[in-house]
Structure 1
Amino acid sequence: MTTDIKNNINSGFLLTRQVQDKHDAILITLWLKSEVGPVKLEIHNELAIFFIELTHREKAKQLLIDQKTSLAKEQIVSLKTFKQNPVAAFYFSNLRSFYRAREILKLNNIKCYEDDIRPDDRFLMERHITANIDYISQQHKIKVLVDNQYQLAQQVKCKRAAQGAVNQHLSMLSIDIECSMQGELYSIGLYAANSVNNNSEVTNEKLGSEEQNAFKRVLMIGEPQNGADEYIHWQADEKQLLKAFIKEVTLFDADIFIGWNVINFDFMLLQKRCDLHNIPFAIGRDGSAPYWRKNANNEDQHFIELAGRVVLDGIDLLKTATYSFPSFSLDNVAQTLLGLNKKVTDVENRVEEITNNFNHNKAALAAYNLEDCRLVWLIFEKTQLLAFAQLRAQLTGLAIDRVGGSVAAFTNLYLPKLHRSGYVAPNMGDGVSGLISPGGYVMDSKPGLYSNVLVLDFKSLYPSIIRTFKIDPMGLIEGLKQAQANNLNGIEHIDNVISGFDGAYFSRTKHFLPDIIESLWLERDKAKLQKNAALSQAIKIIMNSFYGVLGSTGCRFFDPRLSSSITKRSHEILKSTSVWIEALGYQVIYGDTDSIFVSIGAEKSKDEAQSLGTQLQKYINEKWQQKLKDDFTIESQLDIEFETHFTRFFMPSIRGSNVIKDQKSIGTKKRYAGVVNKKLIFKGLETVRSDWTELSKTFQQELYRLIFNDEPIDDYITQIVTELRSGQHNDQLIYSKKIRRPLNDYVNTPPHIKAALIANEKIIKLSTNSNNTTHQSLYKHRSLIRYVMTLDGVQPFEFNTSKLDYDFYVEKQLKPIADDILPFIGKDFESISGNQMGLF
């Protein structure tokens, strides 16, 4: 393929997009990665657009004339609002006029539809372009910079890439900085494994055999040291360090920068230090500096835009991919996913060690800096985060670095289809208000200790309901029209509508969301067959987000009749399924959103349980096919699967309810434990919670293991209580908790906040001591505080000198866990541990 000859159809993957006024006209800039490298597309003379209802057309035109606001053109279009009002389109040749006109009309109570959609987003949406782009250029140039080059394509026409277009390989560079508490830079690390780059001056003779093509670089302030690793490049001062960094990233010419909190810490600090030294932070592909934006809802969060390059933060991307960790610190995530740790002796006090190494052992600091870069790279590889981000962009049209964005993804997919059916999108707040849509159905559980519990799970229940019952924003509008025309009132169905809840009716034929989900579903099935985990996960997240989007007031298509027609239908489905199962003689002990837990009796063998699970799956699916055909004349897309066989299972009671005296004690929700294939599984219990001590988790796991295996438990409980009181488990009695709000916002002071305030007093006192070199930062919003309970009350762990309160830990950490399960085997914690408690 030749992408450097004009008039040929060329292809690329969309990296970044930008829209701006240039020479009083709109210029859209798209940066792509193609087979021959980076390409900058310039699309000139696009028009910005919004719509107004036709009844306001003449008044709106006159207002703009009076305010001397330029209107490029206006015309009546074959579109209407959800209230069936025809509209006119107002076009503007530059953004300045567009924003000014929008403001004028709103001040005069004239509603503007779709006025929040950027011209670059609309340009891509209208062409159904997501990430892969085919384009033709009338003018093509090679732009040569000092250290690299890119292609500039002008007078461009674009379209969605052909089906099955091959993904462009995107190059990554992992970046990490080390600095003092005051923000003075020490070093900057750069790492890319298996990376061959013609521009990069890589000469690493000492690479291990597993990293022959790895790019390693640590830019370090200091004098060259004999015997230091060759990947260390020495810099005279901070100014030279920054210039060297800019040159390195320009030479490497990566498509993607990755790191850990890399935007809000590393890049933000690099920008500040460049500003301090009056150095242009010229790391864009065309030599431009970054454009920074703040999160309107969180002033601590910033977004960075670079010409032709993308910055992906590992923490944000893991959360977007639905990963969850008690702590998203690099050390914890690397340990959990990779079994690797940071190269630092004391992670909690690493700043002091970093500063000490900078002053006395720069080689150790360089190794630490480079290892942080490598750990981020390995996490990206392990979790396929880049592939996930690329596939998400291809499926939804979201920018590859977009955090969250479920509403935007829905809009990208839905809006072009809506226009082709003759509607403009509603504005936020246009939907019906006053109705409340319930959440997922959670059944009251039946507490107990069971043998043989089967879990039957509806596969992607909410998307299945949308597909089955044709739930769709435009489908609701069309369905209500049909219902009104037929004077329907609570009738389940007629030929062209399906009834929902809260007065909703949905068109059987005019809808898009069910078809969008069906196409995604088929792609996910293919991804599973191909064992493409990243694609399968991306599709699952997108499909499951659609319910949340329809139920969010932040979405222009929000209407509680949509979300309630999903959740109330799910309640109905779980309740009916439970009735059918119990009619067969089995006990339903719990149900949660899309899962049903069935006790089938202790006498069943493992093979019999497996066979019964398969039978129940077939039976329930057939029942739903027949019921929906009879009641609604629709084909069921519901699919229940036999998912899990717990050989032993425990559902606790709500704490405070006496299981022995009150046989009708209330069961908990979303909290249980069981054994699957000889492996202990915990849900919602202390073992999987971050705000309980390590001892409580160890205690719970072993206690449950003994009980599930019908082994004696008295000696174990006695031993743990004795060992705790003798100080053998002090290192497991530390609480860790994140500070969720600014410290001043807490009215009632919980223990972790008391610990943070005490620690801050100590830190301030130490910092005023001229003989102390500790540079520990104060605890604040989003900090993780570690603390212990002592005879003098709560104390921050790092400053504690008091004796631990062992009675507290026995009473608050061991006893509640034991008393959850012991009554079900006729025992209680006090009777077992009483003698030991009396000895101390």
Structure 2
Amino acid sequence: MIEADNSKGQLVCIIDADYVLSDKEPLIRLWGKTKSGRSVLILDRTFDPYFYVLPKPSADLDKLVEAIKAMEIEGSKPTRVEIVKKNLYGKEYDFIQVFSNNPTDIPKFRDTVKHFDGVKEEYEYTIPFYRRYIINKGIVPMSWVRVFGKEIKTNADMDLSIEAEKIESIKEEEISEYPSLHILAFDIETSQAEGDEIIMISMMDTKDFKKIITYGNKASNVETVANEEEMIKRFFQLVKEQNPDMIVGYNTDRFDFQKIAEKCEKYKIPIILGKDDSHMIFRRRGRVSAARFRGRMHIDVYDFIENILEDSLSTEVLSLDRVARELLGLKKEKLSWKEIEELWKKGDIKTLGEYCLHDSLLTLKLAKNLLPQIFELSRVVGQTPFDASRMSYSQLVEWLLIRAAFNSNEIAPNRPKYDEMMRRRRAEPYTGGYVIEPKEGIHEHLALFDFQSLYPSITITHNISPEMVDCNCCEVETKVPDYEHHFCTEKRGFIPIVLENLVRRRIDIQKKMKKLEPKTMEYKRFNSRQYALKILANASYGYYGYPGSRWYSRVCAKSITAWGRYYIKNVMEFAKKLNYEVIYGDTDSLFIKIKTKKAAKEFLDKANAMLPGVMELDFKGFYKSGIFVLAKSGVAAKKRYALIDEEGNLTIRGFERVRRDWSKIAKDTQEKVLLAVLKEESIQKAVLITKRTINKLKSGKVKMDDLVIYTRLTKSLSQYEQVGPHVAAARKMKERGITVKEGYIIGYIITKGTGSISSRAEPVSDAKDYDPDYYIHNQVLPAALRVLQGLGVTEEKILHSSGEQSDLTMFKKK
């Protein structure tokens, strides 16, 4: 007997979960680690898969139960059939719960049962078995459990395997840290010259192991094998020897493991990278097929960044180089695919090896930086890091709600069928947030306020949930502004309860953080958790209106925006009553002209005193001045402004400076123009800056990196009817053997020559020159004039003036 068998049990942090069939019955496997670093496999045979059947009101319940018990599909029969009381959209019904001893029977049983007389609908038949298990058992991945059971022997490469008799979840407050995990990062290099072969693999881990493997030429820092096949086998062998808990990579789902899988199929090599003898499989996760191996978690850092972090990053592209620069302050060694080809041809394996290993180093550092966020997201949603790191916002919200539904005895509604999803997509858009057009020009002494988590706060305050719409149980005192709908005030809705729990947990964590030093691990862990809670709460509004949502409600979505418009208008009117000028307002934020910070905070206190429930206005900042500009149509542009605070820091929204589809030279010029206007109050300097940039472009002295324009491919190349510059460049990349898919961000430069702009768009690595006229008239001038046009500056003045002195007095709004 072992520690797991005594009264204390074995303390284990659950890292991953899956199931296998053992003697034709499901065996749940939980993969974890102890505090001392021992790897543990927990086996549980006591849980059966199931789904629910909702009978029609007219159905004979007993006859329907007997019919379900009697059905037999391909030799399989239900193991149990029970009548249970469950809630659906807040109303209690008698459901029939149908059990099996094989998860693969569930869809077969459902397909048969749906044709039975008396069956109205079936539910929860698409929930993966291992997810069903961790939800029902209250197990939270990356959290701790206490396991009681017996030690057994398995084929898994684990320190300890336990046949569980009982598993108890440990409260988060008791143990909040994670165990120490052994993480291994890897990277591959390929060569088109060698027929699209993998020419090198590098590895680096958290235990100071590092290795570069190649074939052909030798170098002191590289292990050389006979050929590509032997290199891949050696890579698998080294993974097995190092035995990490986790493998991490950058774009490994879409590239590295896809490429490895192609080669293994060619050479008939089994891909065994997990902790048992099972082969690697690809699991569909949204648009991406995720590489999975049992017991050894695979995290593709790129997936998490693309799904969750992209909007918070300033980088235009999500390349390893750009992301590492922004998040780590580290640069990737720069080699174009042509340079890689040349190094390989020359046999300069040492340089190529250093380049490849550096990619593994950056990937490892990125993973260590981001894993706390992934782990906390995993904890909040209650899904494994493998799954949570690959989920979109809507999927994260959905799985949060599915877990909460089980805990509330609620049935999770079904996902919509294709026709219903199309109907939702075709529905007329409802009115969004309220926007008051900004007062064009330069304004001084500005205070910015915004509502703290506006839409989640409205959902909680007004009990906005599908089952609470237009109830009959309470008198209608308050209707949704602009609509005839109301929400129940007698009972709390399912989703408002879930959101309120998120908000309260975040507030509690923020209170704890105030007592901690920011450099401590505990502070960083809490910060990751509060961020996870924040993004889930904020994503909830979008989930109501998402066509694929289980809890879709157009009424809820449009009611939330209606209340949002109501509150922003009320605060604006309140400001006007106090004789403050409102310069601009948009959805959840407003700018007020106000003399001092003290006055701004006094206004904040008064405004919050009149807000109901958890609604709260925040003071975001006080600015020395700001500029609001006109759109091309002649109306003030939504969310296009720049602000400068008392310390001279610039905040930019909506200008080309913060968009990836403009070149760096255009964005840098625009930022310098904004600083000249706001900080130095000089139109003359702004014009001069623009003229100098134009002259530099004409001279041919601009760095090629400053001319790259980035645009995302929103569909596959074959689906584009109109060929824009990014599509033309992407097609050229594909012709040269470079992988290009939907979702990729294409970098290109417009080069000299004849023909259309698109025909002259060259991928960054192939561009030899640039077209000065294009960058002057389509990039730099439009970016500068977006700021200067409202201040009386024309294109003619920039191109041909001598640069006479101009000040901003006449453009400042009193």
Partner of 1:726: 699
**Candidates 772, 778, 787, aligned match of 1:821:** 787
**Candidates 450, 457, 468, aligned match of 1:457:** 450
**Candidates 262, 265, 288, aligned match of 2:278:** 288
Moved more, 85-94 or 3-12: 3-12
Partner of 2:806: none
CA distance in 1, matches of 2:720, 2:581: 46
Is residue 789 of structure 2 the alignment partner of residue 788 of structure 1? Answer: no
CA distance in 1, matches of 2:370, 2:640: 30
Is residue 19–residue 26 contact of structure 1 (8 Å, CA) maintained in 2? Answer: yes
Deviations, residues 411-470 of structure 1 (Å, cap 9, x unaligned): 544445545655423323499977865434333222221112211121222222223223
CA distance in 1, matches of 2:621, 2:186: 42
Is residue 136 of structure 2 the alignment partner of residue 105 of structure 1? Answer: no
Amino acid at match of 1:642: F
Correspondence 1:190-339 to 2 at 5 A: 190-193=203-206, 195=207, 214-222=208-216, 224-225=218-219, 228-229=220-221, 232-295=222-285, 298=287, 301-323=288-310, 324=313, 325-339=315-329
**Candidates 660, 665, 676, aligned match of 1:690:** 660
CA distance in 2, matches of 1:802, 1:235: 37
Partner of 1:65: 70
Is residue 549 of structure 2 the alignment partner of residue 543 of structure 1? Answer: no
CA distance in 1, matches of 2:98, 2:691: 79
Is residue 686–residue 697 contact of structure 1 (8 Å, CA) maintained in 2? Answer: yes
Is residue 183–residue 248 contact of structure 2 (8 Å, CA) maintained in 1? Answer: yes
Partner of 2:566: 572
Is residue 40–residue 159 contact of structure 2 (8 Å, CA) maintained in 1? Answer: yes
Is residue 467–residue 518 contact of structure 1 (8 Å, CA) maintained in 2? Answer: no
Is residue 151 of structure 2 the alignment partner of residue 151 of structure 1? Answer: no
Moved more, 370-379 or 237-246: 237-246
Moved more, 587-596 or 712-721: 712-721
* Residue segments in structure 2 that go unaligned for 5+ positions in a row: 517-522, 804-814
Partner of 1:76: 83
Partner of 1:210: none
Amino acid at match of 1:810: I
Q: Tell me, what secondary structure is at the counterpart of 2:549? A: coil
Partner of 2:382: 397
Is residue 477 of structure 2 the alignment partner of residue 491 of structure 1? Answer: yes
Q: Do the aligned partners of residues 81 and 695 (structure 1) sit closer, same or farther apart at CA in structure 2, a change above 3 Å counting? A: closer
Partner of 1:561: 555
The offset of 1:342, in angstroms, is 2.7
Correspondence 1:245-644 to 2 at 5 A: 245-295=235-285, 298=287, 301-323=288-310, 324=313, 325-344=315-334, 346-347=335-336, 349-356=338-345, 359-381=346-368, 384-402=369-387, 403-415=390-402, 417-419=404-406, 421-429=408-416, 437-473=430-466, 476=468, 480=470, 483-486=471-474, 488=475, 490-492=476-478, 503-511=485-493, 512-526=497-511, 528-529=513-514, 530=516, 531-532=523-524, 533-600=527-594, 604=595, 609-624=596-611, 628=612, 636-644=613-621
**Candidates 635, 650, 655, aligned match of 1:680:** 650
The offset of 1:523, in angstroms, is 4.1
The offset of 1:294, in angstroms, is 3.4
Amino acid at match of 2:788: L
Deviations, residues 472-531 of structure 1 (Å, cap 9, x unaligned): 455x17xx5xx4145x4x5328xxxx9996524134443422442243323441464244
**Candidates 169, 174, 184, aligned match of 2:185:** 174
CA distance in 2, matches of 1:801, 1:101: 59
Q: Do the aligned partners of residues 701 and 79 (structure 1) sit closer, same or farther apart at CA in structure 2, a change above 3 Å counting? A: closer
Partner of 1:777: 738
Is residue 648 of structure 2 the alignment partner of residue 648 of structure 1? Answer: no
CA distance in 2, matches of 1:113, 1:234: 55
The offset of 1:667, in angstroms, is 0.6
Q: Do the aligned partners of residues 273 and 502 (structure 1) sit closer, same or farther apart at CA in structure 2, a change above 3 Å counting? A: farther
> What is the number of residues matched between the two proteins?
755
CA distance in 1, matches of 2:341, 2:711: 22
Q: TM-score scaled to structure 2, two decimals?
A: 0.85
CA distance in 2, matches of 1:338, 1:310: 23
Q: Tell me, what secondary structure is at the counterpart of 2:31? A: strand
CA distance in 2, matches of 1:318, 1:589: 35
Residue identity (%): 21
Q: Do the aligned partners of residues 619 and 342 (structure 1) sit closer, same or farther apart at CA in structure 2, a change above 3 Å counting? A: same
Is residue 6–residue 139 contact of structure 1 (8 Å, CA) maintained in 2? Answer: no
Is residue 737–residue 784 contact of structure 1 (8 Å, CA) maintained in 2? Answer: yes
Amino acid at match of 2:640: R
The offset of 1:373, in angstroms, is 0.4
The offset of 1:370, in angstroms, is 0.7
CA distance in 1, matches of 2:504, 2:572: 30
The offset of 1:689, in angstroms, is 1.6
CA distance in 1, matches of 2:223, 2:703: 44
**Candidates 181, 184, 195, aligned match of 2:197:** 184
CA distance in 2, matches of 1:593, 1:668: 14
CA distance in 1, matches of 2:381, 2:274: 25
Correspondence 1:1-20 to 2 at 5 A: 3-5=3-5, 8-20=8-20
Q: Tell me, what secondary structure is at the counterpart of 2:601? A: helix
The offset of 1:780, in angstroms, is 5.8
Is residue 481–residue 562 contact of structure 2 (8 Å, CA) maintained in 1? Answer: no
CA distance in 2, matches of 1:140, 1:645: 63
Deviations, residues 249-281 of structure 1 (Å, cap 9, x unaligned): 122221111111112222222233233333322
Amino acid at match of 1:122: R
Amino acid at match of 2:792: G
CA distance in 2, matches of 1:692, 1:137: 60
What RMSD in Å do the two structures reach over aligned CA positions?
3.2
Is residue 79–residue 101 contact of structure 2 (8 Å, CA) maintained in 1? Answer: yes
Partner of 1:772: none
Q: Do the aligned partners of residues 397 and 499 (structure 1) sit closer, same or farther apart at CA in structure 2, a change above 3 Å counting? A: farther
Is residue 64–residue 101 contact of structure 1 (8 Å, CA) maintained in 2? Answer: no
Is residue 40–residue 158 contact of structure 2 (8 Å, CA) maintained in 1? Answer: no
Is residue 788–residue 797 contact of structure 1 (8 Å, CA) maintained in 2? Answer: yes
Is residue 21 of structure 2 the alignment partner of residue 39 of structure 1? Answer: no
CA distance in 2, matches of 1:342, 1:802: 23
Is residue 434–residue 568 contact of structure 2 (8 Å, CA) maintained in 1? Answer: yes
CA distance in 2, matches of 1:411, 1:671: 33
Partner of 2:520: none
The offset of 1:409, in angstroms, is 4.1
Q: Tell me, what secondary structure is at the counterpart of 2:15? A: strand
Q: Do the aligned partners of residues 718 and 485 (structure 1) sit closer, same or farther apart at CA in structure 2, a change above 3 Å counting? A: closer
Is residue 709 of structure 2 the alignment partner of residue 735 of structure 1? Answer: yes
Correspondence 1:89-168 to 2 at 5 A: 89-107=97-115, 110-131=120-141, 132-143=143-154, 149-164=158-173, 165=175, 166-168=177-179
Q: Tell me, what secondary structure is at the counterpart of 2:235? A: helix
Q: Tell me, what secondary structure is at the counterpart of 1:292? A: strand
CA distance in 2, matches of 1:171, 1:440: 47
Q: TM-score scaled to structure 1, two decimals?
A: 0.83
Partner of 2:669: 699
Q: Do the aligned partners of residues 810 and 239 (structure 1) sit closer, same or farther apart at CA in structure 2, a change above 3 Å counting? A: closer
CA distance in 1, matches of 2:730, 2:568: 45
Q: Do the aligned partners of residues 45 and 94 (structure 1) sit closer, same or farther apart at CA in structure 2, a change above 3 Å counting? A: farther
* Residue segments in structure 1 that go unaligned for 5+ positions in a row: 196-213, 629-635, 658-665, 765-774
The offset of 1:112, in angstroms, is 0.5
